[in-house]
Structure 1
């Protein structure tokens, strides 16, 4: 079925039907629902090329992936984010354009996309401190949403982030309440905004309890299982091992759990672990009872919401920034218990 036939069945103009399917704000909600229901009933799928010609849009959203420096987001967590964003794109009739480029070519990738008109908007991943990409995208006039935000520069652009500072402060407080004082932080790469905020939350909790800051317990690494294992193995073999670990990634925490087991210790009784859990669709934190005590927020939901914010901005032409800060859920699992060394 083509657009003309669907329009005739509905008794509406092709322009109205097209605008209803593409989320234009001037179409009433009643008409929009009527058109969407008919499209589903008759299995109508818009021709992307025709939509592009009719609307002057590319009907695609861009994601630029640097090859080497942003390992923190080129991982399974990124895959779940993209799956969530893809749901929103498919619903709106949009495609996704992934561009993998050398780090030195990242700025030019944005400029090429804008010059060619190959995308209608960009989602920015893994923001860093003083990230130049926001200024570049503003300069070229490309609609964009940042997954995360830049510390010290949080106004004038759209972003969605979790409250990383409060999240890790609460997690550290939980371990302190259990009597732990030697708490190791296994963090992501701290040039990235989320990791810098998590360290800040950890340090704030320690300072408020007058716990001495020990740099030998703080690590900034790529969030892999192997790094989690290697760092925690070395710490547990030391002369004054930590009694608890605060970990920035569920995948990294699996490595910590392996090191605890290899050391002949039991997670949750001998050593406690709290991790951040992105609620991955294929790697769940246990079933009825979580394996790990965790600060949890779905990265798939974040992907879907980022895409919806961007698509809404493109459809309406509204340049007013949309900013959402999500709190994480602190869930208790089998990985935490009282400090066994506490008198």
Structure 2
């Protein structure tokens, strides 16, 4: 069905129908609902080229993908992208993924801001101080950050309470009697990992437990790193009686290292991990079931894309920036059964 046929059925001008479909504020809500209902009933899909000409928009959002990070094979990115895709499927928008060498990433963002190739950008894995955010904040291109960064310019973001989550997990271990707690973290140049480190330190401070930097490690998100980091910390004397690890991939390596040293998680030593809900790494299917700080990254992908869509829709109205922090659940399971006495 064409726009002309839809207009004839409704007894409205093509201009009015087009404006109703594209959310123009001068169209009454009653008319907009009437147009949208018939469009759904008739399975009407606007011509993308015509819509772009009418609105000045591409109906594409952009994700810049540094080639060296191998994100296409990283399970967390896959789950995040599934959430992005879920919202886009509901909104008739598309995503443009722009692979680029890491050395060219900043330049690509600047080119996208000038070219009009996309209507907005999703930005992931922000550093503690992130030049991408400061650069884009000075342009008119809408963007939303998955996470937070230190920036003097206002920006929209969707994050989880990483600091609160790791403070809560550390407090649980302390209340179970543990004082020597190993932290296996992602690289602290990334803001979320730095926040988790700060949450860990905060809980120790609240309970008057001296901070021991030798119990904290950071590295790339691989099972091998989780294994090596835990194996190394187990050589300390006295050894840690509990571990807090920053992701489920680390947890796989951590459990392997513990068992190679004759230690059974939940019986000889306590273990907590952060769970982003990767489908093939389900915390309740571990042996023993794994205590976790829990926040689905697919939900974050959906939420951040919804926020970007809103930024694009309200672009001309000078709206305040959106700031959303998703809660993190602490789910207690068998890996923290052990109480240190």
Residues 1:181 and 2:179 aligned together = yes
Calculate the TM-score normalised by the size of structure 1.
0.90
Q: Does 1:91 align with 2:90?
A: yes
Displacement of 1:177 in angstroms is 0.6
In structure 1, how many angstroms separate the alpha carbons of the residues matched to 2:236 and 2:203?
25
Q: For the structure 1 residues 250 and 72, does the alpha-carbon distance in structure 2 shift closer, same or farther, using more than 3 Å as the test?
A: farther
The aligned counterpart of 1:267 is 265
Aligned to 1:210, the other structure's residue is in SS state coil
Following the alignment from structure 1 to structure 2, what is the Cα–Cα distance between the partners of residues 315 and 149? 23
The separation in 1 between residues aligned to 2:268 and 2:32, in whole angstroms, is: 58
Tell me if the contact between 2:120 and 2:141 (Cα under 8 Å) persists in the aligned partners: yes
Shift of 1:162: 0.9
CA contact (8 A) 1:22 1:315 kept: no
Matched, 1:111 2:139: no
Asked whether the 8 Å contact 1:71–1:222 carries over to 2, the reply is: no
Partners of 1:21 and 1:224 in 2: how far apart? 46
Return the alpha-carbon distance in structure 1 between the equivalents of residues 287 and 38 of structure 2. Answer: 44
Please say if residues 203 and 213 of structure 1, whose CA atoms lie closer than 8 Å, have aligned partners that are also in contact: yes
Alpha-carbon distance, 1:83 to partner: 1.3
Structure-2 change in CA distance of 1:18 and 1:237 (3 Å): farther
Q: Secondary structure at the match of 1:180?
A: coil
Unpaired runs of 5+ residues, structure 1, are none
> Alpha-carbon deviations, 1:34-91, whole Å to 9, x = none?
44443333222232222111111111101112233x6789721111111111222222
Deviation at 1:128, TM superposition (A): 0.7
CA distance in 2, matches of 1:290, 1:30: 56
Moved more, 96-105 or 289-298: 289-298
Q: Note the C-alpha offset of 1:311.
A: 0.9
Distance in 1 between residues matched to 2:281 and 2:244, nearest whole Å? 19
- The structure-2 alpha-carbon separation of the partners of 1:28 and 1:296, relative to structure 1 and needing over 3 Å to count, comes to farther
Q: Partner of 1:202 in structure 2? A: 200
1:140-151 pair list within 5 angstroms: 140-151=139-150
By how many angstroms is 1:2 displaced?
2.3
CA offsets 1:96-116 (integer angstroms, 9 cap, x no match): 011121122112111222332
Whole-angstrom distance in 2 between the partners of 1:106 and 1:202: 32
Query: 282-291 vs 161-170, which deviates more?
Result: 282-291
Name the TM-score, length of structure 2 as normaliser.
Answer: 0.91
- State whether structure 2 residue 247 is matched by structure 1 residue 249: yes
Task: Please name the residue that 1:312 is paired with.
Answer: 310
1:39/1:235 CA distance change after superposition, 3 Å: same
Question: Distance in 2 between the 1:166 and 1:304 partners?
Answer: 22
Cα distance in 2 for partners of 1:103, 1:134 equals 16
Counterparts in 2 of 1:37 and 1:337: CA distance versus 1, 3 Å: same
Pairwise CA distance, 1:174? 0.3
The number of aligned residues is 339
Q: Which moved more, 1:15-24 or 1:133-142?
A: 15-24
SS in 1 for 2:229: helix
Deviation at 1:288, TM superposition (A): 12
Structure 2 gap segments, 5+ residues each: none
Q: Distance in 2 between matches of 1:134 and 1:10?
A: 45
Structure-1 separation of matches of 2:326 and 2:117: 31
Task: Report 1:217-228 matches (<5 A).
Answer: 217-228=215-226
Q: In structure 2, what is the Cα distance between the partners aligned to 1:239 and 1:279?
A: 34
